[in-house]
Amino acid sequence: MKRVLITGAAGFLGSHLCDRFLKEGFHVIGMDNFLTGSADNIEHLFPNKNFEFYHHDVTKFVHVPGDLDYILHFASPASPIDYLQMPIQTLKVGSLGPYNLLGLARVKNARFVIASTSEIYGDPNVHPQPESYWGNVNPIGPRGVYDEAKRFQEAITMAYHTFHGVNTGIVRIFNTYGPRMRLDDGRALPAFMSQALRGEDITVFGDGSQTRSFCYVDDLVDGIFKLTMSDYHDPVNIGNPQEITIKEFAEEIVELIETNSKVVYQPLPKDDPKQRRPDISRAKEVLGWEPKVQRSEGLKITLEYFKEKVNPKVGV
């Protein structure tokens, strides 16, 4: 049985990756320090004999006994609220984390895949964003701790590949949504859904003309799995190229939830990207991957999850 280590296993994406690899017949070793993850996301996995868990901070030395075939580094604060409140931790998990894990991958002869991000493109001057675009990032701005941590991750990962011959992969993740997102993580979808479900006005930053491209989590996980199983080393964008303005997205949520919430506007945060859409030509060509879940379908599934979180059923 192949063995995979997934860091950030108790997070939104990490927990879904644990599900997928278990479904595919892997022995999964989850690792998390619960800085932003939640045990609730992996509680259902503990009875599974092919799942084990380490409560550990990857910025410290990482040791896992036995063979490892794959290591997926998905540990990191991943929302604007998180990295504004935890800038040092964000930088450390994006620098010391991959350093420790790449050393482990080298010793174990494991394929190493990192979760990079569309944020490495910053506020892009090229649209849509191909992997060949180097980005427009403010390294000392409020978002710089996350953007630069991810850019460093890519650099050290490629250095270990070229210098030490480590088998590596880099996935650049675009806006993703689905069950297990945190209500308070500050990103558009959980903010809009939780506000609408509570009957509050929906807060849009700026004039709402900025765009995002939302990918359902199952599609994203499928792309990550395909990349992990490949031997491709250069960065690959994984996201849904269906672009929508934030104002239109807020209106979609209002219509879906059938609320009387109004859309209200607040100033746009510094360095907030104006456009975001992936060029997924490489993912199609190299991995044979493209998203399948329509936004209308994914939002309905996600809404059911958020309904339970906002208004949990009280046991009798």
Q: What is the pLDDT of residue 313?
A: 57
Q: What is the pLDDT of residue 250?
A: 93
Q: Specify the CATH number for the domain of residue 230.
A: 3.40.50.720
In a domain, 272, yes or no: no
Q: Annotated catalytic residue: which of 121, 146, 160, 216?
A: 146
- Does the pLDDT at position 185 exceed 90? no
Which pairs from 161-168 meet CB under 8 Å and 24+ separation?
Answer: 161/233, 164/106, 166/102, 166/105, 166/106, 166/112, 167/105, 167/109, 167/110, 167/111, 167/112, 167/231, 167/233, 168/102, 168/105, 168/111, 168/112, 168/113, 168/114, 168/233
In a domain, 255, yes or no: no
In a domain, 151, yes or no: yes
Number of domains composing the chain? 1
More reliable by pLDDT, 153 or 274: 153
In a domain, 62, yes or no: yes
Per-residue pLDDT tens digits for 267-299: 988 878 889 999 999 999 999 999 999 999 999
Does 54 qualify as catalytic in the annotation? no
In a domain, 188, yes or no: no
- Does the pLDDT at position 147 exceed 90? yes
In a domain, 257, yes or no: no
Q: What is the pLDDT of residue 314?
A: 42
In a domain, 208, yes or no: no
User: What string of DSSP letters covers 241-271?
Assistant: --EEEHHHHHHHHHHHHT--PPEEEEPPPTT
Q: What is the pLDDT of residue 316?
A: 37
From the number of C-beta atoms within 10 Å of its C-beta (0-12, 13-18, 19+), residue 74 rates as: buried
Per-residue pLDDT tens digits for 97-140: 999 999 999 999 999 999 999 999 999 999 999 999 999 999 99
In a domain, 183, yes or no: no
Q: What is the pLDDT of residue 83?
A: 82
